[in-house]
Amino acid sequence: MVLAKSGKAGLSCENGVSNCPLIDGLSCNEETQILAIARKKRYSRGDLLCLDGEVISDVYLITDGAVKVMKFTDGGDAVIFGLGLPGDLICPGSLFRTSKYSSTVVSLRATKALVWPAQNFKAILERCPLLFQNYLQIQHRHILEIEERFCEMATMSVNQRLARQLSRLHGRMIAMANGDTEIGVSREELAQMTGTTAFSACRALVEWGARGIIRSRRESVKVCDADSLRALSD
């Protein structure tokens, strides 16, 4: 059998989920069972994965590309809570309470994901205590990040918040260990994530680019000097 030859590492790499917090610590047999019922799906830039307020039908694990998790105000403005990168579990809502999506998720660029029907994923969580523990830890980390960003909004300047968010995203890109440290977000999207205007974000990025700290393009930012970027947030 191929799985027995390739082992757990081979199975994870084949499905694009190596170093994924969701399956951390699982046995090869448990991982095989979980991945076997997932569908592999592809999304083009701008595709809708799920919509705020709709009943949760699917749970997503990003294996390539990126998505943005956001809500819309009554006036139609978008507020981005964060990005989903490879290895991230996307289930913006409660499987065990409201059963409705709490955010809208849209692909930022060509993206691949493993997709589980929500009921199947819930059943697996109930059968596998370690998977359920990983799921809770992922949800807890999301809450901690939102709390951290709320504190930043209340106590930091625009430039500090922007530097913090770029450092946070850069750290996650490094953790993916795929050699790509370019953050695929636009200036407008960075502004939404840090509670500022596109003009203010653009002004800071241009200044930091001139100092060689980052290299900014219309739809992406590359961190060139991570230490200097972190210093900007202090």
Q: What is the per-residue DSSP string for 162-204?
A: HHHHHHHHHHHHHHHTSS--EE---HHHHHHHHTS-HHHHHHH
Half-sphere exposure of 135 (CA within 13 A, CB side): 22
Q: Is residue 13 part of a domain?
A: no
- Does one domain contain both 64 and 144? yes
Question: Token pair of 78, please?
Answer: 């978008």
What is the C-alpha to C-alpha distance for residues 234 and 231, in angstroms, rounded to an integer?
A: 5
> Residue 16 has what pLDDT?
57
pTM, 2 dp: 0.78
pLDDT of res. 20: 83
Which of 101, 121, 150 is where one domain is finished? 150
Same domain, yes or no, for 174 and 134? no
**pLDDT score recorded for residue 196:** 87
Instruction: Give the pLDDT means over successive 10-residue stretches in the chain (234 positions).
Output: 36 59 88 90 95 91 90 82 85 75 90 93 91 90 86 90 90 65 81 88 93 87 90 87
Give the burial string for 29-55 (b: 16+ CB within 10 Å, else e).
ebbeebbeebeeeebeeeeebbebeee
Structural domain for 76, as ranges: 38-150
Among 150, 167, 182, the domain-final residue is: 150
Residues 138, 72: one domain?
yes
For residue 54, give the CATH number of its domain.
2.60.120.10
CATH number, residue 190:
1.10.10.10
Task: Give the model's pLDDT for residue 133.
Answer: 93
Identify the pLDDT of residue 139: 86
Token pair of 233, please?
A: 């947030």
Find, among 214, 14, 185, the residue nearest to 107 by Cα: 185
pLDDT of residue 38: 94
The per-residue pLDDT for 3 is 26
**What is the model's pLDDT at position 85?**
85
Q: Residues 225, 173: one domain?
A: yes
The CA-atom distances, in angstroms, between 121 and each of 14, 35, 61, 131 are 20, 10, 11, 10
Residues 125 and 215 in one domain: no
